[in-house]
Homo-oligomer: A and B are copies of this chain.
Amino acid sequence: MTLPLPGNPVRGSKTGQPIMALFDLLGRSWAMGIIWNLSEGAATFRELQERCESVSPTTLNVRLKELAGAKLLKRTVDGYTLTKLGRELFDLLKPIGKFAKGWSKKF
């Protein structure tokens, strides 16, 4: 489980172009979902697990370490929270939520 960081050739990106490294990081199960659900505020491990529709603790734990390593979230006394960087990313994800609603009407 290699941590995809810019510069590191990883799964789905041999070049390590920033955008491809980020896509690799976000393109793993629940990565974006975790960021999305954490935007509502800090959460403990188990609470976050519930918000994420009972994702398995294994996956959650691995993902949390990856996202923390990528400086998008961190663990605090209140549980896990987005970093400034993570909130910046969430702000970019947010419009995709709106898009998803329109998209869902096409089916």
Contacts and interface: CB of A to CB of B under 8 A. Distances in A.
Q: How large is the interface on A (under 10, 10 to 19, 20 to 34, 35 or more residues)?
A: 35 or more
Contacts of A100: 6, 18-19, 21-22
B23 A103 contact: no
A23 B15 contact: no
A28 B27 contact: yes
A107 B22 CA distance: 13
A99 B22 CA distance: 9
Interface string A1-44: 00001110001111100111111001111111100100000000
Contacts of A13: 33, 53
Interface in A82-107: 85, 88-89, 92, 95-97, 99-101, 103-104, 106-107
**4 shortest interchain CB distances as A-B pairs:** A6-B104, A18-B100, A18-B104, A22-B100
Interface of A: 5-7, 11-15, 18-23, 26-33, 36, 53-55, 70-71, 85, 88-89, 92, 95-97, 99-101, 103-104, 106-107
